[in-house]
Chain A
């Protein structure tokens, strides 16, 4: 029986190889040279019927500027709470209905999106970043947990190569507060983890007097130290994940808002940006970009040369409505020159209190904007600082815009 099985499986392999060889011979060009017909990928979320979470559809489109976008009859489906991030040439869907998975999605030559692997986790993954050439690093920080769990995930197989749990007591001895995750970055042999202190019962933020970042070793994932800086309050905000921004030289910028719009119950320090220079694991005392209240850098996607696509919160913190993630203006910021250049043609809007959904495509950025009634994709010219309104996204919100 076993023998037959073996033979049949060999036969299957042989057959598939034959088909593969045959198919390869048929196509004259290598696969990656054929331009993909639908290179734009939009992840659209649809509201639940009842007592259920959103369902997400990651849909390829040829064009996102003209015809209204929807997921009718198209797109790969994910059900539950999901967060999407693209690293190299793979989109990772992080989340689940009541389990937690990291699922890798790739596009084939026929524009179809395919799930190419996944791993499962006991608790929600707070973020997933590139750690080295071959690995990703995932972290699970739960405001009620007394451990922080790191997962080193192999890029090609989406398998967990290593998992390490470190106690929260490395960072704080307080038992009545938990850690709210805000950012993760790996630079060389260091892991930087930003967070703020949260009351796990009523979500207030009791300590807003300094920025704190925990430093771990990589790939050992052992706790090393906590670095603090009292020029600003805590780094990052509730659920927006972008507290730490890494540039091409390995410098890390820590964005602090302590803004009620992003989960803080109070603000006691100015908003601003700090820097951890490449090769160091301390805050650069020479660098400080202090924000004017009412003009607070909240979301950023790094481009190059110190430039980042950014969203600036345009309301003063004292008159801010809690948890609104707004009102936001789109801009190009430069961390070196500490400048904000607003992009015209995009109305002020609220964010979704999620990871910033934006596609940087050369000199252009594509971003979904909820104008209060409808969601449109805007194409922003990052050089000219102008924008045009594109297609309407007919969904509850847009969780990501990507391109292959």
Chain B
């Protein structure tokens, strides 16, 4: 049934092609767009014209949005951002079904995960972002990293002299303030860029939940979340010189950030917390150096080094207290148990990161590129309440190096191809408990060295004006993490032989921008996606013994199609729609059940089943109008309506169990409306948003409920 919807969508596109072609006219009659649009488009175009399957989002249209970077990504085909609650809550971004360590996120080419929870997609303001590039499956050498699923690169605003102030407020006591600006002195070449963001929300939206009293679900009721307050702040400053003889850019940067969050519930909403808190602090310094034609003509260098120190706490300090959704407590007098697991854990992470990109243009049609990335990661954990916790006595260290080499060629001006190879090396060091729970129990130091190779090719051709075909393939690798190799020193035992995850990623994409006809602009595109991931690392499930380890067990296959279509008339009316269908199935022949009881390989009875908890059919549509000079001169009024759709999906293997009694995350559709009024060509802006207009019950994985109808206002001033 689902595949039928996709076929219908494709038929629709195919039917559209001849209709639109019949309307083709001489493109020289095209009225030139205003220059600002052209420049934006050219950068945007350049990204899209790469042979890689890349989606680029310019945030120019989005800067008046209340949203954060994450909710913008959620509208991209192939991406789902699943959240456990409101602002600041944990999120899980899946890209064509891959998530976690298999989708790497960069900020201006530097891995963002090192900054921790206080500086990530949750709290970077859209106003400090210029563009977001999403590379699916096949990743260019310049972003040298190990990721099976792809890379998201957030490009911050690099305008030379500007100021952008914004403040938004709305439902659930939500406030966001953002300042972005830069100063550039051409005489001295001195530049200062900065941004500061503050986010606050009580996240006290209503949820429909069971009220437990006296060990019974007394009733289901709509109640407000009561322990979900979140705030975060960050400051990013960068200063240095630009356009000097010795450097096109030499910049020194610092990022300081902090956040504090109350935790409302566990993995599902059936466990309510009223006392658990998380917070973190982070400081990072960086130096960037960029120079074109260094040493010799055609040789460009771009490099950075960054160091980051982060400290975060997880605090579960209540004893014997159980909350229900009304905020009422049941106290088990004398009990010392925490709400989840009583602890006051402090995590100290230190990360050193280094990246060098070299590019050499042999001639206008041929170029070489090389990339080197090095990351050193060190972590230790201390639990104030349980200072003897075994797993915390083993600090973990990891060094990872990636070398990438690429060759880019242009043939006949219409055919571009990149060949690339990537070499990965990993040194991990950790301690490990041997002979657990036996008289011979001891601690050994373990080291693990691994190397691996990945390679790929990406090619694109422009057979017609505005029409582009892309084909790309990568044999990609994700190196294991220290926890996966060494375990936690206690119940997750080491597996020194753990191999990297591997995947064959194949993409086929076409994009077509039809020539403009009588102010009608139509464009569409589609991608076919194939991923065959092997040796996926996962924690071996246990039946009853407390001990487990990570193993290379699981194979998964993704077959997907994505499509998008956009139509615009005279800058007055526009409609954009996209849809994603992805069938992600378990392809393992065997699973590995606990190594001690009934250990070993067991037939995988789920082979061919769709992986649960990941949506497989979703899409959204935006319809909008832009009016000029409404009320005031040099003003614009934009009104958008957005329709979001996710088909039902299952919490567990869909094939198992009686369909009528199974836990299902129901089909969901929701509607958003936004209005943006700008005065003086965008100097003053006010926007109003109403999200989830119909107050639909919306869910994410594990049945987690999302906010109902909410309203936001954003005020923005730019210079």
In the complex where A118-B217, A203-B437, A372-B600 touch, is A73 in contact with B655 (Cβ < 8 A)?
Answer: yes
The docked-state distance in angstroms from the alpha carbon of A144 to that of B385 is: 12
Query: B603 to A49, Cβ gap below 8 A?
Result: no
**A70 contacts the other chain (Cβ, under 8 Å)?**
yes
Residues of B within 8 A of A120 (CB): 210, 212, 215-217, 270
Known contacts: A121-B215, A372-B600. The answer to whether A47 contacts B661 by CB under 8 A is no
**Does the CB pair B271–A98 fall under 8 Å?**
yes
- Which A residues lie within 8 Å of B320 (CB)? 147
Interface string of B641-665 (1 = CB under 8 A from A): 0000000000111011111011100
- B546 contacts chain A at the CB level, 8 A cutoff: yes
Q: Across the interface, do A160 and B216 meet the contact criterion of CB distance under 8 Å?
A: yes
At the interface, yes or no: A85 with Cβ under 8 Å from chain B?
A: no
Cα distance A167–B334 in the bound complex, in angstroms:
7
A49-B653 contact in complex given A145-B336, A201-B386, A204-B437, C-beta closer than 8 Å: yes
**Which of B348-356, B474-482, B589-597, B666-674 interfaces with chain A?**
B589-597
Chain A interface: which of B10-18, B153-161, B536-544?
B536-544
Closest to A45 in B: B543
Point out the residues of chain B lying under 8 angstroms from A167, CB to CB.
334
- CB neighbours of B337 from chain A (8 A): 123, 142, 144-145, 147
Q: How many cross-chain pairs have Cβ atoms below 8 Å apart between A and B?
A: 201
B629 within 8 A of A: no
Residues of A within 8 A of B266 (CB): 98-99
With the chains together, A122 CA to B603 CA distance in Å?
36
User: In the assembled complex, which residues on chain A have CB atoms less than 8 Å from the CB atom of B603?
Assistant: 373-374, 394
Interface pair A71/B544, CB less than 8 Å apart: no
> Closest chain A residue to B265 by CB distance?
A98
Known: A97-B268, A118-B217. A77 touches B657 (CB 8 A): yes
Chain A: minimal CB distance from B92 (Å):
10
Verify B335–A165 contact, CB threshold 8 A: yes
- Chain B residues near A386 (CB, 8 Å)? none
Among A77, A119, A203, the one with the most B-chain Cβ atoms within 10 Å of its Cβ is A77
Which of B390, B652, B702 interacts with A201 by CB under 8 Å? B390
Q: Are the CB atoms of A76 and B657 closer together than 8 Å?
A: yes
Contact A77-B543, Cβ < 8 Å, known A49-B611, A147-B335, A160-B215: no
Residues in A whose Cβ lies below 8 Å from that of B662: 77
Indicate with 1 or 0, residue by residue over B316-338, a CB within 8 angstroms of chain A CB atoms: 00001010000000101111110
Chain B residues lying within 8 Å of A123, measured Cβ to Cβ, are 337
Please determine whether B214 and A160 come into contact, CB atoms closer than 8 angstroms: yes
A353 part of interface (Cβ distance < 8 Å): yes
| Beta-carbon contact of B606 and A122 below 8 Å | no
- Give chain B residues whose Cβ lies under 8 Å from the Cβ of A52: 612-613
Chain A 367-388 near chain B by CB (<8 Å), digits 1 or 0? 0001011100000000000000
Nearest CB on A from B382, distance (A):
15
Given A76-B661, A160-B216, A352-B597, A202–B544 Cβ distance below 8 Å? Answer: no
Smallest CB separation, A50 vs chain B (Å): 5
- Indicate if B547 sits at the interface (CB-CB under 8 A): yes
Closest to B659 in A: A73
Would you call B335 and A354 a contact (CB within 8 A)? no
A97 engages B270 (CB within 8 Å): yes
B217, B591, B658: the one contacting A75 at CB < 8 Å is B658
Tell me if A48 is interfacial: C-beta within 8 Å of chain B.
yes
Q: Is the CB of B652 within 8 A of A55?
A: yes
| A350 beta carbon closer than 8 Å to chain B | yes
Given contacts A351-B597, A354-B543, contact A149 B332 (CB under 8 A): yes
Q: What residues on A are CB-neighbors of B267 within 8 Å?
A: 97-98
Interface size bracket, B side: 35 or more
Complex interface: chain A residues within 8 A of B438 (CB)? 260, 265, 322
Partner of A397, one of B271, B342, B390, B598: B598
A40 at the interface (CB under 8 A from B): no
**Contact assessment for B656 and A396 in the assembled complex, using a CB-CB cutoff below 8 Å:** no
- Selected interface stretch from A30-38, A292-300, A323-331, A340-348: A323-331
Once the chains bind, are B541 and A48 in contact (CB under 8 Å)? Answer: yes
Residue ID in chain B nearest A264 by CB atoms:
B437
Are B656's CB and A75's CB within 8 A?
A: yes
Contacts of B604 in A (CB 8 A): 47
Q: Give the CA-CA distance A47 to B336 in the complex, in Å.
A: 33
B215 CB to nearest A CB, Å: 4
**Residues of chain B within 8 A of A402, CB atoms compared:** none
B436 at the interface (CB under 8 A from A): yes
Contact B596–A165 (Cβ < 8 Å): no
Question: What is the CA–CA distance of A202 and B493 in the complex, to the nearest angstrom?
Answer: 13
B571-596 interface bits toward A, Cβ cutoff 8 Å, 1 = contact, 0 = none = 00000000000000010000101001
**A352 close to B606 (CB less than 8 A):** no
Cα A349 to Cα B217 with chains together (Å): 41
Please judge, given known A-B contacts A46-B653, A146-B335, A165-B335, whether A79 and B663 are in contact too, CB under 8 Å: yes
Complex Cα–Cα for A55 and B609 (A): 14
Complex CA gap A24/B30 in Å reads: 78
A165: contacting residue among B334, B656, B702, CB under 8 A: B334
Is A309 in the interface zone, CB < 8 Å from B?
no
Are the CB atoms of B605 and A394 closer together than 8 Å? yes
B538 near A239 with CB under 8 A, answer no
CA distance A167 to B335 in the complex (A): 8
Q: Which of A106-138 contact B (CB under 8 A)?
A: 118-123
Instruction: Give the 4 A-B CB pairs with smallest separation, nearest first.
Output: A353-B544, A160-B215, A99-B270, A77-B657
Footprint of A on B, CB under 8 Å?
210, 212, 214-217, 266-268, 270-271, 320, 322, 330, 332-337, 341-342, 386, 388-390, 433, 436-439, 441, 490, 536, 538-539, 541, 543-547, 554, 586, 591, 593, 596-600, 602-606, 611-613, 651-653, 655-659, 661-663, 702
Known: A57-B656, A265-B439, A322-B596. 7 other contacts (CB 8 A): A54-B543, A77-B656, A122-B330, A353-B543, A353-B596, A372-B600, A396-B543
Q: Which residues of A contact B (CB under 8 A)?
A: 45-55, 57, 70-77, 79, 96-99, 118-123, 142, 144-147, 149, 151, 159-160, 163, 165, 167, 201-204, 238-239, 260, 265-266, 321-326, 349-354, 370, 372-374, 394-397
17 CB < 8 A contacts A-B: A46-B652, A50-B536, A57-B656, A77-B662, A99-B270, A120-B216, A144-B342, A265-B437, A323-B596, A349-B598, A350-B598, A353-B543, A353-B544, A372-B598, A373-B603, A394-B603, A397-B543
